[in-house]
Amino acid sequence: MNMNRQVSNQKTENVITEHKTVKVDGLSVFYREIGDQTKPKLVLLHGWPSSSHQYRNLIPALSSHFHVVAPDYPGFGNSEFPSPDDFNYTFDRISEVTEDFLKAIDFTHFGLYMQDYGGPVGFRIITRHPKWLEWLILQNTNAYEIGFTSAWDGLRNALWKNRTPETEAPLYGFLKIDTIKQVYLHGHKNPTAISPDNWNMDFSFLERPNARRQQMDLFYDYRKNVQLYPKWQKFLRDRQPKALIFWGQNDIFFTREGGEAYLKDLPNAEMHRLDSGHFAVEDCLYEIPTGMVRFYLEKVVSER
């Protein structure tokens, strides 16, 4: 395994966040890591249009109790960005690379935090390897038809039915900096708490050659996630993992009803309804990590 390491100056309790790369399936995969390797493992899977950068503050807040990793998917953040001519940008393929990444760093039993795109990636992995999952954290990631807001209309009613230049054209608006900024700020009660580094950095990655095609490929492929919703729901019903749900109530993409729907399949899950938006970790940095630590100690460790 080829690995490079860059150490940041972000510290908590004398533990530092490390920024690493590892070769997986011929690609350089970037990831952030923190914590004692003897501690319980925790994987954070990011959403759109971000990268592991969205967890830059959450990661050190969890380091006293967990060994945490947060990768960037291929074509996102600081991971290698192969051309769409050479790499199939689908959720199936991204999940395969992420699965091989976890094997490469010896993460095969862990808690899993999934937000947005992290759900389609993570559900694929844990349905293939159910024994890998120790416990589950769901934060504004959809697995129910009722979970879509009207922001999805251009995908659900046009692109997914017939991918053409005409159905793609309106969706390129999602890749503009003003739209990305709105994704971060919509529904957040204190916009000044959210750093503009988020949308500025995301937009810079979206300006790379082939990025628009890569993103459109994934927009189109998202329809296959919906086809898998019944399988994922059955997995939750049958396995009943210890589950903690944080749901930003004002998400621009996913409805409140989408969060509540999980409780039908996970009646014992613990639900936290946050006065926040899509990226709740930006302004709920006390509620989320403290809730995770308490839940793990009370519900996962104590009930083994």
Give me the active site residues, please. 278
Task: State the amino acid at position 90 in one-letter form.
Answer: T
Please count the CA atoms within 13 angstroms of the CA of 165 that sit on its side-chain side.
Answer: 0
Please identify which residue in the block is written with the tokens 């628009």.
212
The answer to whether the beta carbons of residues 253 and 151 sit under 8 Å apart is: yes
- Residue 38: φ, ψ to 5°: -85, -10
Q: Which of 159, 150, 176 is nearest to 222 (CA)?
A: 159
- Residue 189: φ, ψ to 5°: -70, -20
- Residue 44: φ, ψ to 5°: -110, 120
295 vs 287: CA distance, rounded Å:
12
